[in-house]
Structure 1
């Protein structure tokens, strides 16, 4: 019996796989780690590509809606409009702004998670940024009968910050306060200097916060009410973004509330810039009239009819002579009908188009030869108007030869100012060229 068991044990040992060495174990572990890292990188790239496509598909139709809204606004002002029509326009504008903000928040969260969110810091006067944020929410507060009051004890104090991101922080805090404040309530914002820091306080008379929810308030996707009957919509990203952006500026944000139904208060602390030699920037907050695009010839290339038609109407209303085209081929067919004095001054081109993208279209336009075999559009200023918003997209557009990269949906005022700047720069360059050609030889 003993010999049988011994033999079985020996046979079992003979069938067992040979034990690997320690060096081989380390090699296998490194190989598995390498495969896991490659798979993670592939998943990250796939996620970024998916979000870029989603962002483009969401932004593209919003651009047409926003442009048409701007056109309709002028029709309402110049004609006789009913209060219902004005209310409808305001509702459309509010909806567009909410959708754009939602898209931006989702993309910002993705950039944060991947470590790609970057700030463009510079000496920044805080007061004009606060006022701009307050002005941007004033209409939504008035629509709900909420009293928005401000009190500022700062003037030209500066921080080192990204103007767009600082405005986004304050906008989120104000929007959050308005959102959770009932009609006829109050929202207050104040700013002051406390030692070496600037303090901004946003306080409301809204629904307040339960003590047990305060520790989770700034968490991603955190919401006090997640039931299907909740009164307030949103993804719970606004305050998460606020905390992260504030930390990137070296600051802090705190929240407090006496309890449900007793309002809440958010305190933002930002380090004061050491060099305070800059003069007051109050003038920056003043509104300036839009430049005229009179006699500026703009070639608009976009494959989407709504975007193309709305941009054409918008630019025409600003005084430009706009020529819409659905593709490079359509544009070239039109160019052959023009005399030398009627070629376009500016190109506004979409990027994502079927067949040929905006990069290929730009090259074709600049290489186009007229009847005399010259290339009159070789140096035409070009603006990429696209729903691709990543930093890499901007770099690629500028590298491909576009002078400007503007994301959809673009505010009408911004588009007009950018085109006017490009046209002015082009006119100055042409004048300098003509002067050099007419100068007598030495």
Structure 2
């Protein structure tokens, strides 16, 4: 019986996953059709906004799927540092704010005034709170209100996420953190999701030495999620880590090399850089990339890892061997685990970016100012 239930859950999960991927793909396809249909500026802006939202949604789905795989194999690791939990919560609110604005949902913050110092992986803990806030916003009525509260005592910090939305039934509440379980299993999939976010949240909180629990008085009564985390003892507190994303170069580079075997990825990346006035060279293979380095000496090279014949690691090593630190190297890859980042740094890369690329992060690395424009001819 237990095995049959597990198989049924997995089958429902795969059906939900298919639906959740088809929906944004359909929106992107239709938006692409609009862009190719005519010069209507308003329509074009709406199409671009749709593509941006839906690709972000698909990225989150894929990230969740990868994390599910890591959880089932105990392959998730944490990069622990001392952080102020208030900063983590602020970033989570910022990440969820566009979704809240879309549904006219207000997110209220109620934080204690003094620093709340914990030992944590900043990005993973932000993922936990973002998941909880996303659920609270999605299942709130339009114009609703979500409260994010932070409290602390002498030994622990408590994060509370409250909403007055659809609530959780007494039958579902004990299973709400189980993998592939989702409260909404009807044909109405307007709320989205694939039923793994709370499982991820529980695992990550436990890895931080904390606990997470859910409370609800029933359907239509709203819900509350409580996360409890241990504080760092004052005698052990050091300098707080601050989120940072420093530029690799002192000024925006004039010449950049792209080494990427996929034509669409290469052409779009080229357009993103040329938009800011950079001279761009591109190559479809490692061998061709090294020839361009020899001929043109770019200041920065952005290199895909999964190249044919010669990997991006090999390209980086060859450049480092000949030019030492004279050329800044950025790895751009679909592989984003800690072991992948270490492999890139060991090969000589200065930084590691994970696909799909977020242009603003690349611009930060290249010291591109937000108002940069191509120089006039």
Superposition TM-score, scaled by structure 1 size: 0.67
Which residue number corresponds to residue 304 of structure 1? 262
Q: Structure 1: how far apart are the matches of 2:82 and 2:367?
A: 27
How has the CA–CA distance of structure 1 residues 295 and 246 changed in structure 2, closer, same or farther, with 3 Å as cutoff?
closer
Which has the higher Rg, Structure 1 or Structure 2?
1
Q: Residue 110 of structure 1: CA displacement?
A: 1.6
The aligned residue for residue 172 of structure 1 is: 131
Measured against aligned partners, the alpha-carbon deviations of 1:282-321 in whole angstroms (never above 9, x if no partner) come to xx58999999853442111111122112222222334433
Q: Which residue of 2 aligns with 1:348?
A: 302
With a CA cutoff of 8 Å and minimum separation of 6, indicate the structure with the bigger relative contact order. 1
Does structure 2 conserve the Cα–Cα contact (< 8 Å) formed by 1:318 and 1:416?
Answer: no
Q: 1:184 aligns with which of 136, 143, 156?
A: 143
Deviation at 1:272, TM superposition (A): 1.2
Shift of 1:180: 1.2
Q: Note the C-alpha offset of 1:226.
A: 2.3
Cα distance in structure 2, aligned partners of 1:291 and 1:132: 26
Instruction: Give the number of equivalent residue pairs.
Output: 333
2:108–2:146: 8 Å Cα contact kept in structure 1?
yes
Could you tell me whether the CA contact under 8 Å between 2:245 and 2:365 is conserved in 1?
no
* Residue 321 of structure 1 pairs with residue 279 of structure 2: yes
| Alignment partner of 2:226 out of 243, 267, 277 | 267
2:164 corresponds to which of 205, 209, 216: 205
Of 252, 255, 265 in structure 1, the residue corresponding to residue 214 of structure 2 is 255
Tell me which protein shows more helix as a share of its residues: 1
Contact 2:248 2:328 in 1 (8 A): no
Partner of 1:158: 117
Question: Which residue does 2:347 correspond to in 1?
Answer: 400
Q: Using the alignment, how far apart are the partners of 2:140 and 2:248 within structure 1? A: 35
After superposition, give the CA deviation of every residue in 1:11-30 in whole Å (9 maximum; x if it has no partner).
xxxxxxxxxxxxxxxxxxxx
Ranges of 4+ aligned residues in structure 1 off by more than 4 Å: 276-281, 284-293, 332-338, 363-367, 375-379
Change (3 A) 1:380 1:141: same
TM-score (normalised: structure 2) = 0.78
CA offsets 1:221-274 (integer angstroms, 9 cap, x no match) = 111232334443222100001111111111111111121112111111111111
Name structure 1 gaps, 5 residues minimum.
1-57, 73-79, 368-374, 422-442
